[in-house]
């Protein structure tokens, strides 16, 4: 019986492949359904013989409670975006410079607008499909993905490596989108705003039988494997096509940026003729060795860029302008609008940035505003339809006083922003500073949500970040805080209080640059924090540094130096730092410059790759620099060590092994410099 089941499975998969890939109908639909029914019956009688790639899985029926979270073997990064042709030319120049050559090709593809998916095949069989999630880990939605008929359950052709991962975009074809919404309208169900939302909503459904009915589709655009199976992206696309994947036939090879521009022109004109929505074009360096050489920034590959098409524009009336106070006291005016639908969402507000922007627009009460979505996410006021202005409309005048604490605003000469100077008495500033300090990019005390911080401020338990380190379990346990404006008060549960205390304690271990960043000194972002940590090794040294010493540091100009001096001149800040120190927080790099033990890596060249557990990549690099090591981005015979975190690209590991470069884990590296 097993043989019969395997034979039927293979046969039906082959018919499917011919039908969806080659547009060839080898058998009639009735015959297909008949064979499928036989297979279903056999599988029902012999459930242990069901093949992983059975076509019966495509009709769904799997109901799970919740998706399992799976860590990606290779992180799912995004693409850097541009709307400007000049930036594309700059991208091309950058690549030429980095590759030190004008002789390379690009592959241009469409940027499909759907849901990114990573699908793993082992021994030619689909074993797992995971959403992008946060890029590091995503939801396992395998049963739902198996319902998509253009995704092979087992690979065709030959020469596929034992294990491959393909990346692609699941989408809802426009025709299916319209049909689904028509049905939903008839049934008085809420409509999907756009095909992208419908695709991701559908793929996250618990019942794959419903997914199976929705006619989802998928284009594959990427191949990852630890074996070297192709030399170029173009070749990978061809290989995947032969293995049965659905590759949109719109991709082309380009010899230079002019050919790329032609491709963009063609598709910005023809996009409405496609069966799905696209939001731009993706340009990738074709040669895989060159891709390797170009590498990645922390977020994007350097070898690719997305050119996005201009977005839709709509017009709506201004209802009012309100003002928000940020953590640095900067005032942001916000246009409150008559709600209007734009690119799939209802827009009610748009930032006006600052007084200059209000002046640029020449904004008057009740004006008719043209709105666009930059990057299809954030609504932006592009201009005003002056013809529609009411004759008695008054110009919008920027406020003089803070809307939260009535303090007179200040505007530093030459700056766009107005500020509320009442740093210690203006509640959104206090709240903003503390939530910034605990945020993921800073001290990462993620169990402390905004509402809890608000509760702590209201109870006068916390007025600056150092107070967090003196909170007791009893103060937190049962703390009352408002959940939302309208909602009832809630109290903090015992478990949450314990978690917060633990997370605060753990945060004392974070590295110096994260603390500097967390302090929220005006103009001191992540990069400047790293530079300061690297240069001065401790918060005490930064405090003592003169203006001249500060501007001597790479990337620190007069404006930042002035702001740092100003921060450390305030008594309240000095007291706060003292309290942090007394609480046991390390306010210095692991080793300070005047210890003799800080040149452990002198003369050595290291490559850092992947995601680390105890420190982030920037901290690891700081430690290397601190110990006089040299950091390079790619591995060569000159590399002394590769420090490998999780999710490191397979190509790097392989190259290190090939060249005999020792690979160190994070702990081994820390031991090396200890």
State how far the alpha carbon of 440 is from the alpha carbons of 173, 507, 622, in Å: 37, 11, 20
Residues 403-442, mask of contacts with ligand IVH (x by CB under 6 A): ----------------------------------------
The rounded distance, in Å, linking the Cα atoms of 654 and 609 is 13
Helices of type H across 537-590: 539-544, 547-551, 558-569, 571-582
Residue 632: count other Cβ atoms within 10 Å of its Cβ. Answer: 12
* Interacting residue with ligand IVH among 8, 79, 148, 443 (CB under 6 A): 79
Nearest CB to ligand IVH, comparing residues 282 and 363: 282
Closest CA to 343 of 320, 318, 367, 374: 374
Q: Nearest to residue 464, comparing CAs of 310, 360, 567, 602?
A: 567
Please pick, among 4, 21, 37, 111, the residue that the annotation labels catalytic.
Answer: 111
Stretch that binds ligand IVH, among 42-50, 73-81, 639-647, 661-669 (CB under 6 A): 73-81
Q: Is 185 a catalytic residue?
A: no
* 294/371 with CB nearer ligand IVH: 294
Report the residue number, 281 or 456, with the smaller CB distance to ligand IVH. 281
Longest dimension (CA), the chain: 85
Helices 257-270 and 85-99, packing angle to 10 deg = 150
Shortest separation between residue 115's beta carbon and ligand IVH, angstroms: 8
Query: Site map for ligand IVH, 295-334, x if CB under 6 A?
Result: ------x----x----------------------------
Contacts (CB under 6 A) with ligand IVH, residues 89-148: 109, 111-112, 116, 132
- Closest to ligand IVH by CB, 57 or 278: 278
Assign residue 318 a region (left: φ > 0; alpha: ψ between -120 and 50; beta: otherwise): beta
How many chain residues are in contact with ligand IVH, going by CB under 6 A? 14
Packed helices 427-438 and 450-458: angle between N→C axes, nearest 10 degrees:
130
170 in contact with ligand IVH (CB under 6 A): no
Q: Give the length of the chain.
A: 674
How far is the C-alpha of 448 from the C-alpha of 497, rounded, in Å?
Answer: 9
Using the rule CB under 6 A, which residue among 4, 71, 78, 502 binds ligand IVH? 78
Sequence-ordered list of residues with C-beta below 8 angstroms from that of 225, at least 6 positions apart, any chain:
161, 163, 164, 165, 650
User: Going residue by residue from 203 to 232, which x/- string records binding to ligand IVH, judged by CB under 6 A?
Assistant: ------------------xx----------
| Contacting residue, 43, 92, 165, 169, with ligand IVH by CB under 6 A | 169
CB-based contacts of 65: which residues, under 8 Å, 6+ apart? 206
Nearer to ligand IVH, 138 or 432 (CB): 138
Site string for ligand IVH, 244-283 (x = CB under 6 A): --------------------------------------x-
Distance from C-alpha of 627 to C-alpha of 50, rounded to nearest angstrom: 58
Cα(282)–Cα(261) distance, rounded to whole angstroms? Answer: 12
Closer by beta carbon to ligand IVH, 106 or else 323: 106
Q: Which residues are catalytic?
A: 111
Give residues in contact with ligand IVH (CB under 6 A).
Answer: 77-79, 109, 111-112, 116, 132, 169, 221-222, 282, 301, 306
């Amino acid at each position: 019986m097993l043989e019969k089941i395997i034979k039927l499975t293979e046969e039906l998969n082959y018919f499917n492949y011919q039908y969806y890939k080659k547009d060839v109908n080898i058998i009639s639909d009735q015959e297909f359904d008949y064979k499928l029914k036989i297979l279903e019956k056999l599988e029902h009688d012999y459930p242990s013989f069901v093949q992983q790639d059975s076509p019966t899985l495509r009709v769904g029926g799997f109901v799970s409670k919740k998706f399992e979270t799976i860590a990606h073997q290779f992180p799912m990064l995004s693409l850097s975006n541009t709307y400007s042709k000049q930036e594309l030319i700059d991208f091309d120049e950058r690549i030429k410079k980095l590759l030190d050559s004008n002789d390379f090709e690009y592959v241009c593809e469409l940027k499909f607008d759907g849901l990114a998916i990573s699908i793993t095949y082992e021994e030619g069989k689909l074993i797992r499909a995971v959403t992008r999630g946060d890029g590091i880990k995503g939801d396992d939605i395998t049963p739902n993905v198996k319902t998509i008929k253009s995704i092979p359950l087992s690979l065709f052709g030959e020469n596929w490596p034992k294990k491959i991962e393909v990346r692609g975009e699941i989408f809802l074809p426009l025709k299916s989108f319209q049909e689904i919404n028509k049905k939903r309208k008839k049934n008085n169900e809420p409509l999907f705003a756009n095909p992208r939302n419908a695709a991701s909503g559908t793929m996250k459904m618990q019942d794959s039988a419903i997914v199976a009915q929705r006619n989802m589709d998928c284009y594959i655009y990427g191949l990852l494997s630890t074996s070297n199976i192709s030399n170029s992206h173009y070749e990978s696309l061809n290989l995947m096509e032969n293995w049965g994947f659905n590759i949109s036939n719109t991709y082309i090879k380009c010899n230079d940026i002019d050919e790329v521009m032609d491709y963009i022109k063609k598709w910005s004109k023809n996009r409405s003729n496609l069966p799905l929505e696209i939001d731009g074009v993706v340009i990738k360096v074709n040669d895989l060795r060159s891709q390797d050489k170009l590498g990645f920034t922390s977020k994007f590959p350097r070898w690719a860029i997305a050119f996005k098409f201009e977005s839709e524009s709509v017009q709506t009336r201004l209802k009012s302008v309100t003002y928000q106070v940020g953590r640095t006291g900067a005032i942001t005016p916000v246009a409150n609008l008559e709600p209007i639908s734009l690119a799939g969402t209802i827009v009610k507000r748009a930032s006006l940035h600052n007084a200059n922007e209000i002046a640029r627009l020449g904004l008057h009460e009740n004006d008719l505003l043209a709105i666009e979505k930059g990057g299809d996410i954030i609504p932006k006021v592009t201009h005003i339809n002056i013809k529609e202005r009411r004759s008695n409309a008054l110009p919008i005048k920027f406020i003089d006083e803070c809307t939260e604490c009535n303090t007179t605003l200040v505007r530093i000469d030459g700056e766009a922003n107005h500020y509320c100077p009442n740093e210690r008495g203006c509640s959104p500033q206090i709240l903003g500073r503390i939530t910034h300090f605990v945020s993921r990019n800073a001290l990462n005390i993620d169990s402390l949500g905004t509402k809890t911080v608000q509760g702590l401020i209201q109870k006068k338990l916390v007025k600056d970040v150092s107070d967090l380190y003196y909170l007791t379990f009893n103060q937190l346990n049962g703390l009352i805080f408002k959940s939302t404006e309208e909602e009832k008060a809630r109290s903090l549960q015992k478990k949450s209080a314990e978690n917060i205390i633990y997370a605060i304690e753990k945060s004392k271990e974070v590295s110096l640059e994260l603390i500097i960043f967390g302090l929220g000194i005006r103009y001191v972002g992540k990069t400047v924090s790293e530079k300061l940590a690297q240069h001065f090794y401790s918060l005490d040294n930064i405090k003592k540094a003169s203006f001249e010493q500060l501007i001597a540091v790479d990337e620190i100009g007069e404006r930042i130096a002035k702001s740092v001096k100003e921060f450390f001149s305030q008594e309240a800040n000095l007291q706060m730092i003292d309290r942090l120190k007394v609480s046991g927080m390390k306010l210095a790099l692991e080793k300070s410059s005047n210890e003799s033990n800080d040149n452990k890596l002198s003369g050595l060249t290291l490559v850092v790759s992947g995601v680390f557990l105890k420190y982030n990549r920037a901290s690891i690099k700081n430690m290397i620099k601190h110990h006089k090591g040299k950091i390079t981005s790619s591995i060569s015979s000159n590399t002394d060590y590769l420090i490998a975190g999780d999710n490191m690209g397979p190509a790097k590991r392989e190259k290190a092994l090939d060249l005999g470069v020792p690979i160190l884990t994070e702990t081994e590296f820390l031991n090396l410099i200890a």
